[in-house]
Structure 1
């Protein structure tokens, strides 16, 4: 260990994400970085590979703590769960009041809330930080979503700002809110990411199956889309993937990848949390379910065996590509609107003062869902923080209105052609549900009253009512209700 310098920041856990984050920190003027890993050989490898970083290599946890200047600030980049708790406990035993423990992993926000409450009793600050951008983002500049106390952010904020991505001259970091707010917003980000990826996959499938285009042609389409309103990181990398040829077979790379998508759980967390909050996030849910369906090869094979025929693929004309683009954009807007609805509901339930415009601002760069239209999300929430849904903001309302006919055409064409579009279809149904004059929920509520006496309200007078279905079917009004 080098005792000649005191580090203003430390990183524990030197797998790829942790190593890249440490290198990013060390590359910024004013930062001196202490590093520690449970297996010291990995620490030595990192230090040897990057002498320019000037890392302070700590062999033991005590060496690591000793290398940190006060207030000590340490970022934990280990696997979520028991490993994180073990490192937190090690630091909490050695840190002093005012020091800061940062969890930069993909922890569940409720775990972060519990950890913050436990660690706060010691006078030490515990901060859950969402970091998006993958391995490259960690190294070059991620989007960063810190929670924790305002006091801890005074120390941590300048450090995080120094390593964050920059969009339109602004670092992609903001103090999201207290305790678990940072990890909550990162979770929602990942849920939107699921939806966005699924929608892009459906667009590719439509262009190939209905449009008859080959991967190289579709790559050109996506590259063109990336110069317009659909411009985003995910559209950009999709074009690159579709151009890639498998060196072993000479076939398009996308054709040799098994069509079973994996998941690390944050999409599921988003859907579960949204259900708890009573927020419909069908676009995100369908993306999660689509991955689950893809991972059921036996069931998929069984249905293919029993189907005597498949629907005849409808012939697409020259306008189909543009129709898919408009349907994709409208569906993406719905997914983002649903995600921000969940952010608003979570902030209300957990007492977080989250500024939606700031969240959209820091998602403009560094993160996986970075996209051109996020500037319009920032503008919409800045103009009206209490907007009921992003879909009523002028930019989004106009975009959906202009694409609605194409959206309906694409979903109908997919249904007639046997092409699954759970994301496109769910987004359109959600939009239609919001815009319907009257929903069949009236019948559902009557059914609930029939079999479970769950009561109902009426359109013509106030109060809560129950019909005596098994008796004379007369209506009773519950006591204590107005009207």
Structure 2
């Protein structure tokens, strides 16, 4: 092996790892590459060696020897045990000040554990969320690195060089310490679940209520993509709906099985929201909707049960309904993103992370799956008021939600009357109504809890915790 010349090493050369290595090389960095199967390493160099300078390594020792100090090693393997195995293999070969970067979809709790363990050895561990899929990895992803400020001082310029850009601004920032980067990436994916489900429900309503064809709905989405709903997901939805299956000549969407898969980050988001007590209900319902779609036996049992009525609309009524759906989709999208940002803030309070929500919105404007035009406004809202408790506290967003009130409610009501499932749209509206309510039935819940479990309750007229002796009506309440 030649002298240490590589700026960064990448181990794990499946699609994401290979494309990130190529991205680094294309941006002028010398990249040491390694894979458990040496043939994959050789194939990368043979096929893409003209794109930049690669240093192939067949063993862990060769890879480490090829790296400049402080060594920067990016791990791109499957989350979980595989990541731990790679860390266990490489950590003994590294020295204090060196860095291991996990660019996979790791659970943030695992990242916190690994960061703490490696910190004891003087090694910086960086959990870096990378969004944008294989195309983003190659051409410019959104990167959400956690870890120490010292590590970002070294890695930041490299990540910023390979990231997506908006008007020259890189889509990478230091998110926070230990697991903050992977937590933010997890929430990004949870928002992605919600956004996709909301779009799917809007499509279903236009199809079943408006009686539009997939091609006609594609045109609707193209129109929406020129306005406030401008986003990557709206853009690709139009492409999917316009696509015709080559074998049957049918709309592509009609020949795809209606059972959605998931890789786990949506579940992690929901589980973490429960742990934090953060009401990410639209994200949760989107995740459960995927789970329900794959419950074949359960769906069969329910299929013949009665539903709602589906009166036909005139074309003018369908056009009016389409405008209502746009309002409902936009309002629900704002709620879903607000739930995500609230969850990040709640986690920052819980784990001691100093996360700039405006900066997070900023790096989601390009390179990632949930990139959307309105994130410019989200970034501006948090830049103006970093302690903003909700996006709906910002006057412009509040005005839009106010304008959406009637069509949002009519859309959900129309779906309910017709028996069309809209779990995410309904959850977003219910979340809005829950938080705007002057008084909630939680008061009754507290009474129930005190009755069966003596859990106590607080009163509205004086401070303290109280318990009522329910079995003896003549005995007074007690204060604790």
Q: Same fold (TM over 0.5)?
A: yes
Query: 1:12 matched to which residue of 2?
Result: 11
Change (3 A) 1:96 1:68: same
The alpha-carbon deviation at position 309 of structure 1 amounts to 6.0
Give, in whole Å, the separation in 2 of the partners of 1:220 and 1:317.
14
2:35 maps to what in 1? 37
Describe how 1:37-436 pairs up with structure 2 within 5 A: 37-52=35-50, 53-305=52-304, 307-308=305-306, 310-313=308-311, 315=313, 316-436=317-437
Correspondence 1:457-468 to 2 at 5 A: 457-468=458-469
Q: Is the 8 A contact 1:6 1:68 kept in 2?
A: yes
Secondary structure of the residue aligned to 1:319 is helix
Displacement of 1:308? 5.0
1:27-85 alpha-carbon deviations (Å, 9 max, x no partner) = 003x1001000001111111111121321111111111111111110100000111111
Deviation at 1:455, TM superposition (A): 1.1
TM superposition outliers: structure 1 runs of 4+ over 6 Å: none
Structure-2 separation of matches of 1:130 and 1:308: 45
User: SS of 1:475's equivalent?
Assistant: coil
Structure 1 vs Structure 2 CA RMSD: 1.2
Give the drift of 1:343: 0.3
Q: Indicate conservation of the 8 Å contact 1:467/1:473, yes or no.
A: no
Q: CA deviation at 1:314?
A: 5.4
C-alpha contact 1:198 1:423 (8 A) present in aligned 2: yes
Q: Secondary structure at the match of 2:477?
A: strand
Tell me, in whole angstroms, the C-alpha distance in 2 between the residues paired with 1:274 and 1:450.
28
- Rounded to whole Å, the distance in 1 between the matches of 2:476 and 2:389 is 35
Offset from partner CA, 1:253-288 (integer Å, 9 cap, x none): 111111000011111111111111111000000001
Task: Number of aligned residue pairs: give it.
Answer: 476
Q: Check the 8 A contact 2:361/2:375 in 1, yes or no.
A: yes
Give 5+ residue unaligned stretches, structure 1: none
CA offset digits 1:358-402 (Å, max 9, x no partner): 000000110100001111111111111111211121121011111
Contact 1:314 1:417 in 2 (8 A): no
Contact 1:313 1:416 in 2 (8 A): no
Which structure 2 segments of 5+ residues have no match? none
How many angstroms apart in 1 are the aligned matches of 2:214 and 2:15?
31
Q: Deviations over 1:99-130 (max 9, x none)?
A: 11000000000000000111111111111100
2:160 touches 2:171 (CA, 8 Å); kept in 1?
A: yes
Task: Describe the shift of the 1:157–1:468 C-alpha distance in structure 2 as closer, same or farther (beyond 3 A).
Answer: same
Deviation at 1:351, TM superposition (A): 0.6
Q: TM-score scaled by structure 2?
A: 0.97
